[in-house]
Structure 1
């Protein structure tokens, strides 16, 4: 009887050890599978193009590195240069406007920077090709919301004398304004206090620049089972309190405050402010309840109330033949960076510049400035 119990005990122990071994083997296989899947996803994830030409900035989040030349950044012959001021292009700008020229500062995001094309092919620089009297200054930056574009102009753009300020944006730029980070990179956050703009989240957190590999693959890493388990076991880190969107910090009111300050800053520089609503491919078909239509309506009303000029290229874009529209935008196969598709192609920049110039020259403030320089 004792022998039977001994054999039974050994059998149970043997079974338990085998069960534990199977569980450990499954756990190992699960872990290896997760790592393989992670490595596959990481190998397919390229760094954003902006990492090639930007650096950390405590006030803005990121800015162009000065005096930079990135050859073939977007493809053969599609180079990106920056001058000593960090503006796109190799041309240096003195504080004073050169005689016989009208200086135009172009503020905006990657659509203004000219993502996917060479320096001279951006719509901002193409304005000079349409009218040599114009001297463009490209202050576009990838990933910027209207808040960062405004803050960069306020800090660095106002260091230059200028005649015109084209403050350009797409619909997404208003959504970015409501966030404290973009693709894991920290950015300033604007809120209203007593009707005045207050900048928060500055100095902007720098941690994303310490380990860019982790930043660009953070979502894939979060999908690891071990990270999910760790997240359940550890107490969640308290997030900084942020005003509830559309309640404590209505984006329309913040945008209106930005507009008012832009008007003030331009008046101090004896410059004419012009708002420019840039179209994206998704704007070709009008959707009445879309964010684009909501912001277009708001900005037309705000422009009328303040007397600022607005050039809404969405409407002109919708009047173009459908067969021509697709070729205005970069496809996924054109530029080997995530998020490249949908930016203006060389042709798209040319069309935008032409549409913009046609409407610009109908504005008395612009036509008068050009007339003062001569034919």
Structure 2
């Protein structure tokens, strides 16, 4: 080997050593606490991403350790992940004997003659977050029609999977005449995970949930929540291997980026700042909704099967099933920009061809200017009383006349 080649290799080796040294400086200083610019950096062991998440873990650790005064909270639910305790009040949300959010009045224990009972299911846009009970669209519908009573069984953070399960457990015993599923397109991907913070790192629902997986193209298999009591949550947060054993095979986001959720130090990719940052970048991708609807993906197939299964269950119970589409502000803006179509439109049109009644609220809100008018929105992105009143008027005109 000539002197020139030796010199070249020496320079390359020196450059590699310098880069490795810099990488390790960043690894042990800047990334030493696993946080960069207030964001967690992989590996996510445990998968907690904000101070709120760690406070919730501390609360449950205190409960598991038997500290006096510690409690699981009013919404822990082993079957659904989280669900209000009947007969309680949490902030501005009051729940009656059946666990329904109180709007006009608590749901009567005995069905009233001549009054149509309608049960509503979905997430925060069904429950009516950020406004008082009488200012939700469900309450406005009920107040406008003395021959209608609404059992509002919506719950913040729910996916369609939890809505289906809540109907089966809590809705069917109420014997409603109609069941309305309030579908929130922006929350579609909730059906793909067992743990909300894994999907949305800023999620406020710090709880595990059940989910369904598709088998044989159109058959649903329920995978229960791995947390049956608060101590289970603490165990899974303390033991990453146990977490992966419980949900690693059925949580889509862990499956997409397994090294980002591997136990800390179990992969060589955890030993270098560069690879950790690359893992973090890779894990953050895939949350855009449009690609999941652009073709016949597993997510779209799962969503369609969940809705059709709920429709079948409702019909079998003797009730009428109807599907409401309640868009977020960004959904309305996209609708306007894309010529009066949403990324979900093909799916809802397909569902309509199967006989499911669909009421699309997006064009009504868009025509009213909700895409850009702040009076339609609360600070956290939910409908204001103005928007809720318009939604209620549209529902009453289309479905109750």
- TM-score normalized by structure 1? 0.66
**In the TM superposition, what is the alpha-carbon distance from 1:129 to its structure 2 partner?**
1.4
Deviation per CA, 1:351-373: give whole Å up to 9, x if none.
22112222213xxxxx5xxxxxx
- Cα distance in structure 1, aligned partners of 2:329 and 2:342: 14
Q: Which runs of 5+ in 2 are unaligned?
A: 1-27, 40-49, 57-70, 198-205, 239-259, 269-285
- Of 80, 86, 111, 1:66 maps to 86
Q: Which moved more, 1:294-303 or 1:60-69?
A: 294-303
- Cα distance in structure 2, aligned partners of 1:44 and 1:206: 18
Q: Is the 8 A contact 2:160 2:191 kept in 1?
A: yes
- Cα distance in structure 2, aligned partners of 1:344 and 1:209: 35
- Of 133, 141, 147, 1:127 maps to 141
User: CA 1:323/1:310 → structure 2, altered by over 3 Å: closer, same or farther?
Assistant: closer
Q: Is the 8 A contact 2:117 2:149 kept in 1?
A: yes
Q: Is the 8 A contact 1:109 1:145 kept in 2?
A: yes
Q: Is the 8 A contact 1:53 1:68 kept in 2?
A: no
Count of aligned pairs: 290
Match of 1:233 in 2: 265
Deviation per CA, 1:158-191: give whole Å up to 9, x if none.
1111111111021123211112211342111111
Q: Is the 8 A contact 1:122 1:349 kept in 2?
A: yes
User: CA 1:67/1:233 → structure 2, altered by over 3 Å: closer, same or farther?
Assistant: same
User: SS where residue 176 of structure 2 aligns?
Assistant: coil
User: CA 1:249/1:55 → structure 2, altered by over 3 Å: closer, same or farther?
Assistant: farther
- Of 148, 152, 168, 2:182 maps to 168
Match of 2:75 in 1: 55
- Cα distance in structure 1, aligned partners of 2:357 and 2:31: 60
- Of 157, 169, 172, 1:155 maps to 169
- Of 333, 358, 366, 2:397 maps to 358
Q: Is the 8 A contact 1:53 1:65 kept in 2?
A: no
User: SS where residue 116 of structure 1 aligns?
Assistant: coil
2:348 counterpart of 1:299: yes
Match of 2:388 in 1: 349
Q: Is the 8 A contact 2:324 2:361 kept in 1?
A: yes
User: CA 1:276/1:205 → structure 2, altered by over 3 Å: closer, same or farther?
Assistant: same
- Cα distance in structure 2, aligned partners of 1:102 and 1:53: 34
- Cα distance in structure 2, aligned partners of 1:53 and 1:44: 14
Deviation per CA, 1:295-344: give whole Å up to 9, x if none.
2221111221x21110000111111136983211112xxxxxxxxx1011
Q: Is the 8 A contact 2:329 2:370 kept in 1?
A: no
Give every structure 1 segment of 4 or more consecutive aligned residues whose post-TM-superposition deviation is greater than 6 Å. 27-32, 43-47, 244-249
- TM-score normalized by structure 2? 0.62
* Structure label with greater radius of gyration: 1
Q: Is the 8 A contact 1:124 1:136 kept in 2?
A: yes
Q: Which moved more, 1:200-209 or 1:158-167?
A: 200-209
- Cα distance in structure 1, aligned partners of 2:310 and 2:210: 17
- Cα distance in structure 2, aligned partners of 1:153 and 1:133: 22
- Cα distance in structure 1, aligned partners of 2:161 and 2:96: 23
